[in-house]
Amino acid sequence: MTTGTVRLHRVLRAPAERIYRAFITEAAVAKWLPPNGFTCTVHHLDATVGGGFRMSFTNFGNGGSHAFGGTYLELVPGQRLRYTDTFDDPNLPGSMMTTVDLREVTGGTEITVVQEGIPEAIPVEMCYLGWQDSLCLLAQLVEAQVCG
């Protein structure tokens, strides 16, 4: 079985702790993680090492959805997250590994995302485009300066 890998890099105008929190807070994940055109339901999220999550993305246009879950393998607040993702769909076998590294830099935080083990049935380019959408939405959430 062939799998794919995507690598993404951005600098966000937000502190690392805020970005980290956006990855482990149910309401935040539901707001930024689904790519454009999708909604997200977070069914469970236990952001502890060995804890897990379960969620589903729904295509707003046609109503189709896919569910997935995973386990947190490494959580270093403000620095790193590493977790697995496994789809419920038997046509998307295997387990993906996602590593998110955060590093404070001048003007914000450098974020590097590596997702490995993408099932052969998912074109790597589409996964990459989806992550680009998600990271734009993440930036809108964490870079906002809300008064009050």
Please report, in angstroms and rounded to a whole number, the separation of the first and last CA atoms in the chain. 52
Residue ranges per domain, the chain? 3-143
Q: Quick one: 3-143 is in which CATH superfamily?
A: START domain (3.30.530.20)
Report the alpha-carbon distance of residue 64 to residue 53 in Å, rounded. 21
C-alpha closest to that of 101 among 20, 1, 30: 20
The per-residue pLDDT for range 83-135, each reduced to its tens digit, is 999 999 998 888 999 999 999 999 999 999 999 999 999 999 999 999 999 99
Residues 6+ apart with CB under 8 A from 86: 68, 69, 70, 94, 95, 96
pLDDT value of residue 1: 60
The per-residue pLDDT for range 44-92, each reduced to its tens digit, is 999 999 999 999 999 999 999 999 999 999 999 999 999 999 999 998 8
How many C-beta atoms surround the C-beta of residue 119 within 10 A?
Answer: 19
Is the whole-model pTM more than 0.85? yes
- Say yes or no to pLDDT of 146 above 90: no
pLDDT value of residue 54: 98
Evaluated on CA atoms 122, 128, 129, 135, the torsion sign reads positive
